[in-house]
Amino acid sequence: MRFVIDGTTGLLGRNLLFEILKQNLKSLDEIEIIILGKGSNGKTLECRMKEIIIDDGFDYLNLNKNSDYYEQIKERIIYIDFDLTKPDLGISRKALEILKKEKIDYFFHIAALSSFLDTPEIINQLNLINIEGTKHLLSLVKEIKVENFIFVSSAYHAGSSQNVIYPDFVNNSNIFRNPYEITKLRAELFLKKYAKKVRINHKIFRITTISGRLVENELGSINKYDVFYGWGLYFLKLKMKLFKNSINIYSVPFEIKLRINVHPESTMNIIPADFGAKLLLKTCLNGNVDDAYHLVNETDIPTKIVINKILENLNITGHMFVEQEPEDKTPFEQFYYRTVGKIFTPYIIDPPLHYNNDNLKGVMNEYNLKCPEMNETNFQKLMDYAKKHNFGISI
């Protein structure tokens, strides 16, 4: 069986790679995995992925990091440099021949720009990578033999609609929180139209907020501290700036006066990366006939609990929740609402959105898959890992 995956240096992509390996660890010679990506900071794609597989993947696979198992895995992986921003994807002739050699059973398109900013530069990059990049990739898919094209989109393509969001929902209201949401919807719409025209068998998986692992080792493992982690990172950096000489920044109490605008019923839907990867893979292998799915957690966690737990772990007190953005802002509140608050406030001032995932219930029951409940205990596991790694920054 041949797999093609892009976005494997990201969170969902790497966990999907690990899950494919885990499912085939005793029969590696029966699979071939082609990874599309590019080097970074002077490291080749293969070098980057070797570090990811050994440093993070071996935990997932319960392998000794000092073992020589990587050599066996390496034999089943082909690395191809590509660039979504280029019309030809920057793929060499030799690489193209590799892709054309035999049919590809599953082609997973996960790579995307996930910034919620709205600067002209970011908007341009969002359009270039998320929309034009998908178009470039589909042109490639048309030229090679692909049995199943899998596009990972975002559940937030629905914008801030207040209805139950079914898998076939299309947001025609033109109301979105940021340009990112718009680009994911437009990429979806192009895929559907193009796939119908040239007869590409495809599936769309829309994921909500993705977190570190809660099923496989190491619990909490994550490589990019954005979404709610980014909110915590903002306050960690603030403490670091104020308490530069502290031996342990987490042990220093810090009181802030901050009124945080939150809807009283606001919740977050957070799905662990490893569970999302398992459900994504099993659904594809199971041959489900639907072409759109929501990868979501069946239990939401109240936003106020998330915020309280993050600040508690950072040893920060003094905040309070309000139902309207303050008009008489303090200088610090003005700065908050201009920066991190501008990004996250649109997501927490609405009542809960409900994403229907009934068409995945059969797969979950068949394979005994149950998403870890996002409660205070499990959220604390995510925070434990984030604190252990200082939210990705050096202290």
List, for residues 247-288, the tens digit of each pLDDT value: 899 999 999 999 999 999 999 999 999 999 999 999 999 988
Report yes or no: 296 and 208 within 8 Å, Cβ to Cβ: yes
- Token pair of 284 as six digits: 């594809």
* CB-based contacts of 386, cutoff 8 Å, min separation 6: 212, 220, 222, 225, 229, 232, 313
* Nearest alpha carbon to residue 114 among 160, 181, 169: 181
Angle at 215 between CA 71 and CA 27, to 5 degrees: 35
List, for residues 68-106, the tens digit of each pLDDT value: 899 999 999 999 999 999 999 999 999 999 999 999 999
Asked if the model's pLDDT at residue 161 lies above 80, the reply is: no
What confidence category does residue 67 fall into, taking pLDDT thresholds of 50, 70 and 90? confident
Report yes or no: 141 and 41 within 8 Å, Cβ to Cβ: no
Report yes or no: 89 and 83 within 8 Å, Cβ to Cβ: yes
Percent of the chain with pLDDT over 70: 100
pTM across the whole model = 0.97
Mean pLDDT, to the nearest integer, of 39-47? 96
State the fold for domain 2-210+269-295. Rossmann fold (3.40.50)
Considering Cα of 287, then 28, then 77, then 59, what sign does the dihedral take?
A: positive
- Token pair of 296 as six digits: 């979501």
**E strand segments, 68-161:** 77-81, 104-109, 146-154
Helical spans, DSSP H, in 78-212:
93-101, 120-126, 133-143, 179-198
List, for residues 13-27, the tens digit of each pLDDT value: 999 999 999 999 999
> β-strand 104-109 against 77-81: which pairing, if any?
unpaired
Per-domain residue ranges for the chain? 2-210+269-295, 227-267+301-352+373-392
Provide the pLDDT for residue 34. 98
Mean pLDDT, to the nearest integer, of 19-37? 97
Provide the pLDDT for residue 162. 67
Asked if the model's pLDDT at residue 371 lies above 80, the reply is: yes
The whole-chain average pLDDT of the chain stands at: 96
Mean pLDDT, to the nearest integer, of 342-358? 94
List, for residues 300-309, the tens digit of each pLDDT value: 999 999 999 9
Mean pLDDT, to the nearest integer, of 206-223? 98
Report yes or no: 223 and 212 within 8 Å, Cβ to Cβ: no
* CB-based contacts of 246, cutoff 8 Å, min separation 6: 252
List, for residues 184-210, the tens digit of each pLDDT value: 999 999 999 999 999 999 999 999 999
What confidence category does residue 175 fall into, taking pLDDT thresholds of 50, 70 and 90? confident
Provide the pLDDT for residue 395. 72
- Per-residue b or e along 164-196, where b marks 16 or more CB atoms closer than 10 Å to that residue's CB: ebebebebeeeebbbbbbbbbbbbbeebbebbe
